[in-house]
Chain A
Amino acid sequence: MYRTALRNVLAHKGRLLMTMLAVLLGTAFVAGTMVFSDTVGQSFKNSVSSTYANVSVQVKDNDAGVQFGQASKRDENSGDTPLTQATVDRIAALPGTGTVRGTVTGFAGLSDPNGDLIGSAGNTEGSNWAPDSAGQDTNYPMVQGTGPVDSHQIAIDQKTAAKNGFTVGDTVRMAVNGPVMQMTVTGIFTTTDPQVKAGGSLVLFDTATAQGLYLKAGQFDSIQATAKPGTSQDQLLAEVQPVVPHGSNIKTETGTQLSADQAAAIQSAMSGMKTALLAFAGIALFVGIFLISNTFTMLIAQRTRELALMRAIGASRRQVTNSVLLEALFVGVSASLAGLVAGIGLGALLQKVLGSMGGATLSGSLVVSPTTIVSTLLTGIVVTVLAALLPGIRASRVAPVAAMRSGDQPASQKSLIVRNSIGGVLALLGAALVLLGVHTGGSGGRMPVAAGAVFVLIGVFVLTPLLSRPVIAVVGPLFARLFGISGKLAKQNAVRNPRRTAATASALTIGVTLISALTVIGASMTSAIDKLVTQDMKADYSVSSQINPTVSPSLLPQIAKTPGVAAYSVLDDQYLQVGGKALSVTGVDATSFDQLVAPTMVSGSTDSLKQGGILIDQDHATSDHLSVGSTLPVTYPNGSAGTLTVGGIYQNSGLLGPVLMSESVLSPHTTAPYYNTVLIKGTDGATPALQQALKNATGDNPLIQVNTKQQLQQQFSSVITLLLNVMYALLGMAVVIAILGVVNTLAMSVFERKREIGMLRAIGLDRRGIKRMVRLESVVIAAFGAVMGIAIGSFLAWAAVRLLGDAITGLTTTLPYGQLAGYVVGAALIGLLAALWPARRAAKLDILASIKTD
């Protein structure tokens, strides 16, 4: 039996090629993912341990410093005790301490020579240059120039300097927490700082400047100490702990612990990425199952007589099944081995490409763990053998007498009734669950929708043979009209073996379902965000800050003076106390409000702002039982009390907060302004000149953004688009495998229908007609798969959008018809492409050899 199986593999290696390729691609994806994430993880771990190589003990103030996207966390009245020079001195005085260094870090905005922010927001860090007695900072060896010594000097990391052409003596523009600063570059340094290793930028200030920018004079956010030779990290830790301030914000750890913590954090981040990628590899392999199963089914159909003969001469059913499984095992083992090699190559390639793209430095060798090898091989083999199981069992049912029948194609058109009933029940059950989930809504609806989605998919796959006839019948007349007899025959061929067509199309359906679901969800989200952000915006420009989220009040007079500004208003976010609860209110300029913002009013009018009334959004009006004329007793941020009257209710908006009031009423009662955004209306609308004027007026600060409505929309949609594109790319593998499946099915069909093709050629169908027939069949199958995928995908996306709709205001299902239609056309083109080789083969068949009766 073993020998027969091996012989079969060798005899059919041509026909098993696509199967092998599918398994190879799937396993290469798995292996590539594992190798790459292990390698990246290892290289980060290496860099972490080198970062903390010089740290024996670190003391860190978790509340200190300016973090990206938020103001300093430190509440002046809290009991927190900062780390100061005194702390540094006390640690320095300890007997076990070798060297000690106080560090200040925070985010910075550095401007490139064109005035744009370098890197995305939050990608540049600022820190302090802390020279030792020899005038050097071991963390930042200078390759050019010297360290910064006053508040107008900085040093820049070598990579960033090289990329932007900064050299010693240049003046660069940067901002941290206020207006733009002109700084002179005094030095360029190299570093192993993870910030730079991960692809970011680092600038160094002298310690006093950094403290002034990020903390307060004399304060640090962390202190690193090294132990004297002979003192262990733990001994030093024990010495340090008593001399540092005690508070929940202070954390003291050894370098070893820090490395371990970081490594653990990296591990979990990497395993998250790995899991996500492996999920996509899983989808690709799942698609592969269809292909493998289909191949073995076809091979067995072609070998019916041979199998029957084996049964007739005494092979048991089990032996027949085993021979098929053994064949699958050969395929699985060899394809998985090849996949493993390809995957390792893929990992190496990714390491190289990403490394050269200037992102994370991926130093170190490729990591191929035993887990990678074992799980890749096991996955490939198990998938292949499992996929061949059903065809193998079916093979054992071939009756011995079939060997005696003369060998036209076995007409195994077993009734599909059982199959259709099961499929129908599953699909309906799934649809019902999805609808139930949508009806339940919220988080409670997620489980039913998810389970329902699985049932719908499986149900439809089971039903595909049934669906194929009517769906493909629709295109029949069109094909016959457009392409004559080739079209008619193609359509007939596509429906002649519904199981085979279904299995082939289903493979494509999986990919298209996911892609179109993502497309619909993405389109819905984008349009919802567009609506939320910009529907109410009449202003031409919005001025906001990228890192520190407030726009400095000092910019307002500059904006007011800018020529071409017709009206402007701040959005001042403040918190009022109402009955012991915090209420977020936004102060706006009451007089220019109508020029800048047009909320959809449910009741009342925006005019009430001018009379000191407040506007409130519908959600709050409902939850707090407020209507026009209701009064609210409030406590202002500065402690004073007042009463506000509701003058109008508007539909929820992403641009505006829940409560609007006149800034002239609000500002006298606040401790400090918090200008989230400044909205601006131009006299001539949005013009490039005005945009430039506004940029100039705001000091060409790399952190201040002047955006039009479209730019705001793009900012949000580009995030979604990027995410979608990444997922599309990852799903591409599943589509590629599905294409292989189409190629495979067509090639096998051509082989099986060789005699028909010969006859058609004999009675006068030319080569072109034959090619066209095969290609059109492929197009029909592919388009059918895509149509089903789009239908299921859109339905599931609708359910998902309905569920998310509870959390995101204004989210409704938006079907991007053009894009979805594009997918059908794309699938048809893919079908055309997949048919190129089989069609050529069919057209090249020798007529006499084909019609010969054996």
Chain B
Amino acid sequence: MTTSLRTAAAARAVDLSKVYGEGDTRVTALDRVSVEFQSGQFTAIMGPSGSGKSTLMHCMAGLDTVSSGSARIGETELGGLKDKQLTKLRRDQIGFIFQAFNLLPTLTALENITLPMDIAGRKPDRKWLDQVVATVGLADRLGHRPSQLSGGQQQRVACARALASRPEIIFADEPTGNLDSRSGAEILSFLRSSVRELGQTVVMVTHDPVAASYADRVVFLADGRIVDEMQDPTADSVLDRMRRFDAAGRTS
């Protein structure tokens, strides 16, 4: 934790635990995890399968309940919120990018992008929307339906959707998992520029060292605990760190 706190945390977990099942089937997915995600930063969460990285993201994003500890978005403690308040929080303060794009096939690209605002019953900020659309490079595809777009284009629509309502924080769950490397690179550069140029906050779960290298900071998880973190990672440094997990896994 050497980095100075440039800005306030956009999200923070303190002693966050998540336990599934009971008795013999009891699995501790997260074991007293404490972590901060700073505003204006692009953070990657990495770890082997089953390390709890997706669970951490789901808990932070208000999609899953926590067993103990605290998860906050901005100043809001998620633990005490009812489903309705959580829904509103997700709608107004969080953006999502899923691995499988998850666009509505019945809506056009533009309608998909403005969906969160439509749900909230708000008018989109025209200037911001234009900027977002220009950044993802979809200006000429807005009238198309998802089935008429390539996978990379669909994921760019999903990114634009996450950005369009200017959320406090964007959670991306393996956003490049379903894409070829070129489209993946496009998405990652786009996420990085949305942080650097548009001032957004992005937290991305990935198991791909190349994807993680686009982030400002990488947090490593293993067996439900944060085991390491790295500033300004490169693909090689991340890969090295991951190899040590494998080695540890084999020797333990």
Residues of A whose CB lies within 8 Å of any CB of B are 409, 411, 484-485, 488-489, 492-493, 496, 755-756, 758-767, 769, 847-848, 851, 853
Contacts and interface: CB of A to CB of B under 8 A. Distances in A.
B106 to A, nearest CB: 4
A769 B105 contact: no
Nearest to A491: B106
Given A848-B58, A853-B99, A763 B116 contact: yes
B87 A492 contact: no
A7 B143 CA distance: 44
Contacts of A409: 105
B84 A484 contact: no
A571 to B, nearest CB: 69
B90 A764 contact: yes
Q: Which 8 A-B pairs have the closest CB atoms?
A: A764-B91, A492-B106, A759-B102, A766-B87, A485-B118, A853-B100, A764-B90, A765-B119
Contacts of B120: 764
Nearest to A852: B100
A492 B100 CA distance: 21
Contacts of A755: 100, 102
Given A485-B115, A489-B104, A755-B100, A762 B90 contact: yes
Interface residues of B, number: 30
Contacts of A762: 61, 63, 90, 96, 98
Interface string B140-155: 0000000100000000
5 contacts: A489-B107, A759-B96, A759-B102, A760-B119, A763-B95
A761 B87 contact: yes
Contacts of B91: 763-765
Contacts of B102: 755-756, 758-759, 851
Contacts of A764: 87-88, 90-92, 116, 119-120
A767 B161 CA distance: 21
Contacts of B249: none
A518 to B, nearest CB: 38
B177 to A, nearest CB: 8
A848 B99 CA distance: 13
Contact of A847 (B63, B116, B119): B63
Contacts of B21: none
Q: In this complex, which of A489, A758, A769 has the most chain B Cβ atoms within 10 angstroms of its Cβ?
A: A489
B179 to A, nearest CB: 13
B83 interface: yes
Contact of B106 (A411, A496, A848, A851): A496
B147 to A, nearest CB: 6
Nearest to B102: A759
A493 B121 CA distance: 20
A489 B106 contact: yes
B15 interface: no
Contacts of B83: 766-767
B64 interface: yes
A761 B88 CA distance: 10
Nearest to A494: B106
B176 to A, nearest CB: 13
A190 to B, nearest CB: 70
B105 A496 contact: yes
Nearest to B158: A759
Contacts of B87: 761, 764-767
A76 to B, nearest CB: 85
B106 A493 contact: yes
Contacts of B104: 489, 492, 756, 759-760
Nearest to B178: A853
Contacts of B96: 759, 762-763
Q: In this complex, which of A411, A764, A767 has the most chain B Cβ atoms within 10 angstroms of its Cβ?
A: A764
Given A492-B106, A492-B107, A763 B100 contact: no
A765 B92 CA distance: 11
Interface in B59-94: 61, 63-64, 83-84, 87-88, 90-92
B212 to A, nearest CB: 20
Contacts of A493: 106
Given A763-B90, A763-B161, 13 more contacts: A484-B118, A484-B119, A489-B104, A492-B104, A759-B96, A762-B61, A762-B63, A763-B95, A763-B119, A764-B92, A764-B116, A853-B99, A853-B178
Main secondary structure of the interface of A (DSSP, over half): helix
Nearest to A762: B96
Contacts of A769: 119
A738 B190 CA distance: 50
Contacts of A848: 58, 63-64
Q: In this complex, which of A484, A488, A760, A853 has the most chain B Cβ atoms within 10 angstroms of its Cβ?
A: A853
A488 B61 CA distance: 27
A848 B62 CA distance: 11
Q: In this complex, which of A485, A763, A766, A847 has the most chain B Cβ atoms within 10 angstroms of its Cβ?
A: A763
Interface string B118-162: 111100000000000000000000000001000000000000010
Nearest to A413: B147
Contacts of B61: 762
Nearest to B173: A851
Q: In this complex, which of A409, A762, A851 has the most chain B Cβ atoms within 10 angstroms of its Cβ?
A: A762
Contact of B98 (A485, A765, A851): A851
Contacts of A761: 87
A769 B115 CA distance: 13
B39 to A, nearest CB: 21
Contacts of A759: 96, 98, 102, 104
Contacts of A853: 98-100, 178
Nearest to B89: A764
Contacts of B119: 484-485, 760, 763-765, 769
A411 B161 contact: no
A446 B160 CA distance: 63
Contacts of A760: 104, 115, 119
B115 A763 contact: yes
B173 to A, nearest CB: 9
Nearest to B87: A766
A762 B104 CA distance: 13
Nearest to B84: A766
A489 B106 CA distance: 8
A477 to B, nearest CB: 14
A764 B102 CA distance: 14
B205 to A, nearest CB: 13
A853 B173 CA distance: 11
Contacts of B115: 485, 760, 763
A759 B115 CA distance: 11
A848 B55 CA distance: 10
A496 B147 CA distance: 13
A848 B61 CA distance: 11
A762 B102 CA distance: 11
A276 to B, nearest CB: 45
A496 B95 CA distance: 27
A759 B91 CA distance: 11
Q: In this complex, which of B63, B92, B99, B147 has the most chain A Cβ atoms within 10 angstroms of its Cβ?
A: B63
Interface in B32-68: 58, 61, 63-64
B118 A488 contact: yes
Contacts of B90: 762-764
A762 B99 CA distance: 14
Contact of B121 (A484, A489, A851): A484
A19 to B, nearest CB: 27
Nearest to A763: B116
B147 A411 contact: yes
B84 to A, nearest CB: 6
A766 B83 CA distance: 8
B33 to A, nearest CB: 18
Contacts of A492: 104, 106-107
Nearest to A765: B119
A489 B107 CA distance: 8
Contacts of A489: 104, 106-107
A848 B20 CA distance: 14
Contacts of A488: 118
A770 B175 CA distance: 25
